[in-house]
C-alpha cells in the first residue's frame, strides 16, 4: 500500500503480479528507502514448493530481482534489509545491501557481491549496518567490530579492538558525522566495567580509535534492534531506545 497525502487516498499493488515467473506465495521480510527509492526484500514460493529470495525496487515503477539472477540475494533470508548510505551527493542510482557474509552493491542496474573472507585482511563476519564516509569508503558494523571497505583497492581494514585491547563485538549501529569520524555502537563494549556498552569512534584519516562509555549507573539501554544511534555534524552522538 502507498498513501498519497495530497489526495488523501491509498494505492494498492499485488506483489505477486510484479514478478514475470508465476509464484503462489510471497512474504515481505523488510522495507527500506535509499536515495528516495523504495526497496522491499521478500520470500517467494514457486509451483514446485521451492522458496526463493527477491528484491523489489520502486522508483515510479516496479523492478524485481530474484536470487536466480543475483546470487548474493540468497543471503537476505536471515538478514534484515539494510541499504547502505549512498554518501556524497551525485552518487545517483546506488545502494548497498547487507547479506549473511558481506554486502551487495547495486549501481544503475548492475550488481556486485562483496564477501568478507579470512584472507586479504577481511573478517568472516555478518554485517549489521553500513554507512559511507565523505571520502567514499564504506563502513560496516559487524560481529567483530568496524570494518572499512576501500572501493579503489577493494580491501578491508578492520577495527576490532579498543585502545585498551578489548575485543569489540556486535557493532549494531554505525553513523558518520560527515566530517572525519565514524561511530559504531556496541552493547558489549567495556567488559572491564561490566559490559555497560558504548560507542567506538574511528578517525577516517588516520585510523585512531576512541571509545565513549555509557554511564554505568543511570543509563539504560536494551540489546540489539531496540537501539538507534545517529551522529550530527558537530560530532555529537544521539542515542535512543
Could you report the per-residue pLDDT of 20-68, keeping only the tens digit for each?
Answer: 778 888 888 888 877 778 888 888 898 888 888 888 888 889 999 888 8
21, 105, 149, 232, 238 from 179: Cα distances, Å? 46, 24, 18, 10, 16
Helix (H) or strand (E) holding 237: strand 237-240
Q: In the chain, pLDDT over 70 holds for what percent of residues?
A: 79
In this model, does residue 194 exceed pLDDT 80?
no
pLDDT tens-digit profile of 143-161? 888 999 887 887 888 898 8
Select the more confidently predicted residue: 100 or 145: 145
Distances (CA, A) of 111 to 79, 103, 108: 18, 10, 9
Identify the residue whose cell numbers are 536515495. Answer: 35
Model pLDDT, residue 101: 63
- Which helix or strand (DSSP H or E) is residue 176 part of? strand 173-176
What is the pLDDT, as a whole number, of residue 90? 44
Amino acid at each position: 500500500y502507498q498513501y498519497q497525502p495530497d489526495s488523501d487516498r491509498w494505492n494498492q499493488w499485488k506483489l505477486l503480479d510484479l514478478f514475470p515467473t508465476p509464484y503462489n506465495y510471497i512474504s515481505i521480510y523488510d522495507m527500506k528507502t535509499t536515495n528516495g527509492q523504495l526497496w522491499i526484500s521478500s520470500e517467494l514460493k514457486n509451483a514446485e514448493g521451492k522458496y526463493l529470495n527477491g528484491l523489489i525496487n520502486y522508483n515510479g515503477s516496479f523492478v524485481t530481482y530474484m536470487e536466480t539472477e543475483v546470487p548474493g540475494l540468497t543471503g537476505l533470508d536471515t538478514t534484515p534489509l539494510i541499504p547502505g548510505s549512498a554518501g556524497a551527493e551525485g552518487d545517483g542510482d546506488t545502494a548497498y545491501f547487507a547479506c549473511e557474509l558481506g554486502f551487495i552493491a547495486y549501481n544503475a542496474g548492475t550488481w556486485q557481491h562483496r564477501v568478507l573472507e579470512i584472507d586479504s585482511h577481511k573478517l568472516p563476519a555478518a554485517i549489521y549496518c553500513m554507512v559511507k564516509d565523505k571520502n567514499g569508503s564504506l563502513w560496516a558494523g559487524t560481529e567483530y567490530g568496524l570494518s572499512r571497505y576501500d572501493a579503489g583497492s577493494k580491501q578491508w581494514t578492520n577495527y576490532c579492538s579498543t585502545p585498551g585491547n578489548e575485543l569489540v563485538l556486535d557493532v549494531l549501529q554505525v553513523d558518520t558525522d560527515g566530517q572525519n569520524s565514524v561511530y559504531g555502537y556496541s552493547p558489549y563494549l567495556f567488559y572491564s566495567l561490566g559490559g555497560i556498552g558504548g560507542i567506538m569512534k574511528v578517525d577516517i584519516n588516520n585510523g585512531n580509535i576512541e571509545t565513549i562509555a555509557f554511564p554505568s549507573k543511570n543509563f539504560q539501554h536494551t540489546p540489539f534492534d531496540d537501539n538507534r544511534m545517529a551522529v550530527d555534524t558537530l560530532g555529537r552522538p544521539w542515542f535512543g531506545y
